[in-house]
Amino acid sequence: MFLGIDIGSTTSKCALIGESGELLAMSLVVGGIGTDGPKEAEESVLQQAGLTREQITLTAATGYGRASWEGADYQVSELTCHGIGARFVFPDVRTIIDIGGQDAKVVALDENGAMAEFLMNDKCAAGTGRFLDVMASILRMDIDKLGEEALSAQEHARISSTCTVFAESEVISQLAKGVDRKAIVAGICDSVAARTATLAKRIGLKAPVCMSGGVARNSGVRAALEKALGVELLYSPLCQHFGAIGAAVYALRKSKKK
Ligand code: ADP
C-alpha cells in the first residue's frame, strides 16, 4: 500500500494505491498547511481501506505544505506529482494546467511523461482559486455553484481589473447597478481563464491538454479557458487529487526500484 498526501494552501488530499497501482481510496479535507486537514485526510483514507499507518509501505508528500508533514518517506515537488497523477488518468497528456488555491501552473510533459517545461503564477491571487473564493463570498454563493451559474448566463459581464481587490470593488459596483448575477459569475470565470490563458500561451500548448487542481472542478472556468485557448481540455472528477495520486504512484515506483 502506498500513500500520497498533497498538502495545499486550502485543502489536503490523500490517495492510497495498491501494489499494482490500483486506486484504493481518496480523501479531501478543507484545511491545508498549518491545520488538522492533513491528519484528517490521512485518517480518512486509512479508515476507508481498513488499514493502520504501520501497514503503509511508503508515503510521499507533495504540495505547498509537504515539508511540514512528518513521516513521509519522500517529499516530492507538486510539478512532478501533478504530472504523474495526470498521466495516471490521461496516459497521453502533454500539457497540464493546474489551478489551485493560491497559484496557477502550466506544465509541459515530453512524450514519456517527463517534465519538459513549466510556468507558474504564485505572485498574485488573480487567476487562482483565491480569486474565485473571494468573489463567491461577495456573491454569497457556494464555490461549487459558480460553474453552473456561469454556464447558464445569457451575457457575460466584463471584469476589467486584474487585481483581486479592485475586481472585488468592480463586482460590488456591478451588483449595485443591477447587473445579472449569472453574467457577473460568467465574467469572473472569464477573468480567471484570461489570466491562465496568458500563462499557458507562453509555454506553447501541446495537445492533449488537461486541467488539474480544485479550480478544474469549476465548469465555468473550464469552458472559458477552452474558448480562450481554442483547445479541448480533458477533464476528470479526480482532477483535485492528481497531486496526491501522483505522490502515491511516485512512492510505488520508488519501492519497485529498491
Ligand atoms: P490547494 O492545493 O492550493 O489547497 P486546490 O487544488 O485544492 O488548492 O484548489 C482549491 C480551490 O479549488 C479553491 O480555492 C476553490 O476555488 C476551488 N474549488 C474547490 N472545490 C471546488 C468545487 N467543488 N467546485 C469548484 N471549485 C472548487
Determine the average pLDDT of the residues in 16-27: 96
Instruction: With beta carbons less than 8 A apart as the criterion, state whether 62 and 5 touch.
Output: yes
**For ligand 1, which residues put their CB under 6 angstroms from it?**
8-11, 32, 63, 100-102, 129-130, 132-133, 143-144, 213-215, 217-218, 240
Q: What is the pTM of this model?
A: 0.94
Split at pLDDT 50, 70, 90, the class of 239 is very high
**pLDDT tens digits for range 216-236:** 999 999 999 999 999 999 999
Report the candidate in 184, 89, 77, 84 with the shortest Cα–Cα distance to residue 140: 184
Query: Closest Cα to atom 1, ligand 1: which residue?
Result: 8
**pLDDT tens digits for range 80-109:** 999 999 999 999 999 999 999 999 999 999
Report the candidate in 76, 74, 70, 116 with the shortest Cα–Cα distance to residue 94: 116
- Report the C-alpha gap between 242 and 140 in whole angstroms: 29
Ligand 1 centroid vs 130 CA: distance in angstroms? 8
Task: Look up residue 113 and give its three cell numbers.
Answer: 511523461
Pocket test for ligand 1, best of 5, 9, 10, 35 (most atoms within 8 A of CB): 10
Determine the average pLDDT of the residues in 127-138: 94
Report the candidate in 55, 48, 52 with the shortest Cα–Cα distance to residue 23: 48
User: Quick check: helix, strand or coil at residue 103?
Assistant: coil
Ligand 1 centroid vs 257 CA: distance in angstroms? 34
The whole-number pLDDT of residue 163 equals 85
**pLDDT tens digits for range 134-159:** 999 999 999 999 999 999 999 999 99
Pocket test for ligand 1, best of 64, 82, 215 (most atoms within 8 A of CB): 215
- Report the C-alpha gap between 186 and 37 in whole angstroms: 31
